Amino acid sequence: MSTNDIEEQKLDGDLSIAASEGSSVAVGGEEEQNDEPKKEEIEEKKEVNSHEEKDEAPSMVKEEVVASNDLAPVKKAGCTKSKILMNVVVPSIFLACVIVAVAVLAVRYKNFKKKYPGCKVDHQNWIANGVCQNKGLKYNIAECQFDGGDCDEFNSMYPNCEVENPTWIGDGKCNGGDYNSDDCAFDGGDCSEFNENYPDCKVEDPSLVGDGNCDGDDYNVEVCGFDGGDCE
C-alpha cells in the first residue's frame, strides 16, 4: 500500500466519521423537531383545559346570577324564611294561643257565675283552692259558699271569728285587733301568754312587745311593760 493510498483511506475515514456525526446531529435535530410538537400538544392541552375552566366558571356564575335573579323579587319583598317565620308563623301561633286562653277563661267565668251567682271576688281562683281565705271579708261568706268550702273547718271552730286571714288563727304568733278577741279564742291561743302578762296592753302587733327592739308610742307604755322591757 502506498503512502497516497494510506492518506486516501484516512481521508475516507474522517469523512465517514464526519458523515456519521452529521447524521447523528441530523437525527438529534429530528428528535428536537419531534419534541417540539409534543410541547405544542401540551400547550394545546393547557389551552383546552384553561378554556374548559373558563367555560365552566362563567356557566357557574351564570347559574348563580340566574338563581339570585330568581330570588330577587322575593328578597325585595322581604320574604326570607326567617322573616316569614317571625312575621307570619309566630304571630299566628301567638294569636291562636291568646284565642284559646280567652276561650278557656270565658268558660271558667261562666261556670263560676253559674255555681256562685252572688259571689263577687277579685280572685275567683282562690275559691275552693284548699286554703281558707277572706280578703276584704268577701270570700268566707254564704254567697261564695264560704270560700267554696275551704273555710268550713275554720267556721266550725270559730263560728263568730270574722277576720281577713283565718290562717293566722293558731299559727303560733300573737296577732292583735280582731284576732286577739274572745270570738277568735284570742287568736286560737296564740295570745294567751301575752294577755296574761299584759292584760291591758292594746297594740296593733303584740308580737313586737319584748322582741328586743324598742318600739315607741303605744308600745313604750307602762301597761305594755315599756315594750316588754325593750325600751328600759
Specify the residue, 92 or 129, whose C-beta has the smaller distance to Ca ion. 129
Residue number with CB closer to Ca ion (64 or 171): 171
CA distances from 4 to 1, 7, 9, 12, 50 (A): 8, 5, 9, 12, 68
Contact region with Ca ion (CB under 5 A), list: 14-22, 46-54, 65-73, 146-154: 146-154
Q: What is the DSSP letter of 221?
A: S
Taking the least distance from each CB to Ca ion, the nearer of 95 and 174 is: 174
- The verdict on 167 binding Ca ion (CB under 5 A) reads no
- Rule CB under 5 A: which of 173-202 touch Ca ion? 173, 175, 187, 190
C-alpha cell at position 28 = 438529534
Q: Which is nearer to Ca ion, 31 or 183 (CB)?
A: 183
Counting contacts by CB under 5 A, is residue 171 touching Ca ion?
yes
Of the two residues 9 and 124, which places its CB atom closer to Ca ion in the complex?
124
- For 167, list phi and psi in degrees, rounded to 5: -70, -15
Residues in contact with 136: Cβ distance below 8 Å, sequence separation at least 6, in sequence order = 122, 164
Residue with Cβ nearer Ca ion (162 or 211)? 211
- Which residue's C-alpha cell is 366558571? 57
Q: Which of 197, 215, 218, 226 binds Ca ion (CB under 5 A)?
A: 215
* Contact range with Ca ion by CB under 5 A, out of 15-23, 38-46, 62-70, 143-151: 143-151
Interaction of residue 124 with Ca ion, rule CB under 5 A: no
Q: What is the largest CA-CA distance in the chain?
A: 173
Q: Phi and psi for 168 in degrees, rounded to 5?
A: -75, -25
Q: Which of 17, 61, 131, 137 binds Ca ion (CB under 5 A)?
A: 131
- Does residue 126 interact with Ca ion by CB under 5 A? yes
129 contributes a contact to Ca ion by CB under 5 A: yes
Contact 134, 119 (CB under 8 A): no
Report how far residue 176's alpha carbon sits from residue 191's, in angstroms, rounded to the nearest whole number. 8
- Nearest Cα neighbor of 198 from 171, 169, 170, 227 is 227
DSSP state of 207: G
The residues that touch Ca ion, with contacts defined as CB under 5 A, are 126, 129, 131, 133, 147, 150, 168, 171, 173, 175, 187, 190, 208, 211, 213, 215, 227, 230
